[in-house]
Amino acid sequence: MGENSSNGNNARIVVQDLDAGFGAHRVLKSISLSVPGRALTAIMGPSGCGKSTFIRCINRLHEETPGAWVRGQMKLDGGDLYTGGIDPVQLRRMIGMVFQRPNPFPTFSIYANVAAGLRLNGMRKRALLDERVEKSLRKAALWDEVKDRLEKPGTSLSGGQQQRLCIARALAVEPEILLLDEPCSALDPVATERIEELLTDLKREYALVMVTHNIQQAARVADRTIFLLLGELVEQGPTSEVFTNPKDPRTESFISGRFG
């Protein structure tokens, strides 16, 4: 990370008056918020409130959907992410993404899954690939479980291991920010706990933004929590404050399970 992001309290991503949608449907409505570095920011809210759309706007995946549009301003370290000079492919190397369901490349080995982005970027030397694959699997807390079967298919792993493999694959290209779209929703409680422990370690080094449908998960692992409802930003702040002293009654209703 650059010098300007070494302080975890500094905002790395600043969003101002963001609108996004599909065709005539407006999903996000005038969202303004900030995301700090070296911390985990959780985005919570009921289904259909725009959580996934928001994080897909951060790495410009949203615009890949036919009919999708974005208006407003989104900056990374002061630079506008939506100017004509930004290459979205290059941007996605800096801002990695882990999806809801583990999606290892089905015909690739464990090793080839992690190395895929590196090879795409032109890395060919086996020694360098070996080093980065091991480093990424260690960061994803998976190395000790797979080091003796790296040539086995990625799909041979359990669901929780597959999700950690996808995290390793995202980390291999050395992003600075990692987006996670409900990364535990398809996992059992034991695998979920492993992922949460992993995220707690990773946030010391990366800016993490995680969409979660699990209110308790946000309370457990997030430093900062954002609450979206019907495409609007209802509340944002330190997780402890949002959960113990919410400013908006809708936040309190959601946290207490009265809707959502």
The whole-angstrom separation of Cα 136 and Cα 115 is 9
Strand 11-22 versus strand 177-181 pairing type: unpaired
- Across the chain, what does the average pLDDT equal? 94
Q: Does position 2 have pLDDT exceeding 50, yes or no?
A: no
The pLDDT, as a whole number, for residue 4 is 38
Predicted TM-score (pTM) of the model is 0.93
Q: Which residues are CB-contacts of 130 (< 8 A; sequence separation ≥ 6)? A: none
Instruction: Please determine, for residue 83, whether its predicted confidence score (pLDDT) is greater than 90.
Output: no
pLDDT, position 6? 37
Helix (H) or strand (E) holding 18: strand 11-22
pLDDT, residue 259, reads: 74
Examine the pLDDT at 169 and tell me if it is beyond 70.
yes
Q: Looking at the predicted structure, is the pLDDT value of residue 41 above 60?
A: yes
Q: What is the pLDDT of residues 209-256, one digit of tens each?
A: 999 989 999 999 999 999 999 999 999 999 999 999 999 999 999 999
Backbone phi and psi for residue 235, each to the nearest 5 degrees, phi listed first: -160, 150
Which range is least confidently modeled, 8-22, 138-152, 169-183?
8-22
Res. 9: pLDDT tops 80: no
Ranges of beta strands (E only) in 79-231 are 79-80, 95-98, 177-181, 207-212, 224-229
Work out the average pLDDT over 134-152: 98
CATH-assigned architecture of domain 3-255? 3-Layer(aba) Sandwich (3.40)
- Arithmetic mean of pLDDT, 191-198: 96
| Inter-residue contact 138 to 147 (CB < 8 Å) | no
Query: What local confidence, expressed as pLDDT, does residue 260 receive?
Result: 64
Q: Is the pLDDT score of 84 beyond 90?
A: no
Q: What is the mean pLDDT of residues 51-55?
A: 97
